[in-house]
């Protein structure tokens, strides 16, 4: 499942290539035809991500809400602005057109010069198209057009996201304190609470496992059994990891890497994490085999020695 950093990158892509335009909005597969008709030709005013959800606000007070879920992804095609410093993806109209897929991972490739706008491929739920750029959505869990009040109600149900301005989420001047209060009042295991989007928004399986390892915290510990300062440290660490993921497009969670090691990990995913995806492999700190088990239907990775 795409985690919070990916959705923030998608929001930034829309901000660079669609905000201020009046995209043609269609539903090539037909399942979203009515919703597409509501926002077709309207100016896109803003693009924002909160946790794992994307909110595209159009004139007239209409909001396209998208939750990618487990399998959803956006394809951006045509003149696609680079998000990363030093990116080879060209943005100008005269440069090679590209296809960039943004979901659980990111892929980019050049399009043929005469291949624009391309025909929809597969089950495209919704297509937004300007004269220069196309965005195709496939496989989302949620895709709906809301009025401003309904969109605000969705936002109210989400926990804090450290990459979101306070005024977007109710003006909370210290969202970290809210997370601390929520977690330390609950009997639910911390490993489950961090995946609860009503507690803290944007954390998925990878970040959950890595944050708990970095805190050297047993994922089975009840929330009310975790010291407030530890919860606050996890929130602060989440803010750092999220910002890095948004900047690079990669979930790189090891803080022990030097510049060369980090460069290698950006290329080789097997070097990026402390415990996630490493079941049965030796812990990078103590050498004990990393354990995997299920918690609330999702795989949970941890070191039984470092996190006891």
Q: What digits encode the pLDDT tens for the residues 261-280?
A: 999 999 999 999 999 999 99
| Domain assignment present for 38 | yes
Q: Are residues 46 and 169 in the same domain?
A: no
Residues spanned by the domain of 247: 164-302
End position of a domain, from candidates 90, 124, 153: 153
| Domain assignment present for 307 | no
| Residue 2 annotated to the active site | yes
Counting the structural domains of the chain, the total is: 2
Q: Mean pLDDT, the chain, as a whole number?
A: 90
| Residue 22 annotated to the active site | no
CATH code of the domain in which 102 resides = 3.20.190.10
Of 9, 23, 28, 52, which one is the catalytic site residue? 52
Q: Are residues 20 and 145 in the same domain?
A: yes
Under 8 Å between Cβ of 184 and 221? no
Q: Are residues 173 and 297 in the same domain?
A: yes
Of 2, 140, 160, 175, which one is the catalytic site residue? 2
| Prediction pTM value | 0.88
Q: Are residues 271 and 211 in the same domain?
A: yes
CATH code of the domain in which 206 resides = 1.10.8.50
What pLDDT is stored for residue 122 in this prediction?
86
| Domain assignment present for 159 | no
Q: pLDDT tens, 45-69?
A: 999 999 999 999 999 999 999 999 9
End position of a domain, from candidates 153, 184, 209: 153
End position of a domain, from candidates 93, 126, 153: 153
Neighbours of 258 (CB within 10 A): 8
| Residue 282 annotated to the active site | no
Residues ≥6 apart with Cβ < 8 Å to 9: 83, 102, 106, 246, 249
Helix (H, G, I), strand (E, B) or coil at 137: strand
Helix (H, G, I), strand (E, B) or coil at 53: strand
Of 101, 247, 284, 298, which one is the catalytic site residue? 298
| Residue 299 annotated to the active site | no
**20 has a pLDDT exceeding 90:** yes
Q: Are residues 18 and 141 in the same domain?
A: yes
Q: Are residues 172 and 266 in the same domain?
A: yes
């Amino acid at each position: 499942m795409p985690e919070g950093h990916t959705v923030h990158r998608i929001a930034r892509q829309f901000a660079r290539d669609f905000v201020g335009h009046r995209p043609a909005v269609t539903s090539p597969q037909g399942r979203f035809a009515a919703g597409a008709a509501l926002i077709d030709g309207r100016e896109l005013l803003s693009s924002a991500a909160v946790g794992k959800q994307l909110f595209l606000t159009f004139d007239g007070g209409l909001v396209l809400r998208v939750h990618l879920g487990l399998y959803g992804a956006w394809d951006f095609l045509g003149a696609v602005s680079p998000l990363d410093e030093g990116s080879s993806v060209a943005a100008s109209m005269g440069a090679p057109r590209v296809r960039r897929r943004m979901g659980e991972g990111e892929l980019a490739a050049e399009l043929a010069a005469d291949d624009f706008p391309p025909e929809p491929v597969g089950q495209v739920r919704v297509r937004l198209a300007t004269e220069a750029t196309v965005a195709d959505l496939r496989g989302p869990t949620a895709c709906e057009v809301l009025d401003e009040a309904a969109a605000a109600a969705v936002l109210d149900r989400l926990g804090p996201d450290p990459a979101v301005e306070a005024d977007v989420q109710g003006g909370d001047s210290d969202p970290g304190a809210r997370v601390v209060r929520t977690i330390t009042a609950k009997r639910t295991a911390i490993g489950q609470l961090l995946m609860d989007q009503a507690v803290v928004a944007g954390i998925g399986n990878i970040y959950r496992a890595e944050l708990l390892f970095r805190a050297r915290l047993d994922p089975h510990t009840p929330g009310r059994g975790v010291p407030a300062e530890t919860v606050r440290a996890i929130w602060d660490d989440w803010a750092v990891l999220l910002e890095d993921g948004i900047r690079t497009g990669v979930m790189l969670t090891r803080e022990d890497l030097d510049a060369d090691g980090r460069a290698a990990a950006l290329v080789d995913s097997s070097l990026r994490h402390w415990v996630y995806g490493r079941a049965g492999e030796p812990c990078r700190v103590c050498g004990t085999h990393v354990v995997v088990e299920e918690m609330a239907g999702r795989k949970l990775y941890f070191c039984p020695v470092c996190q006891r």
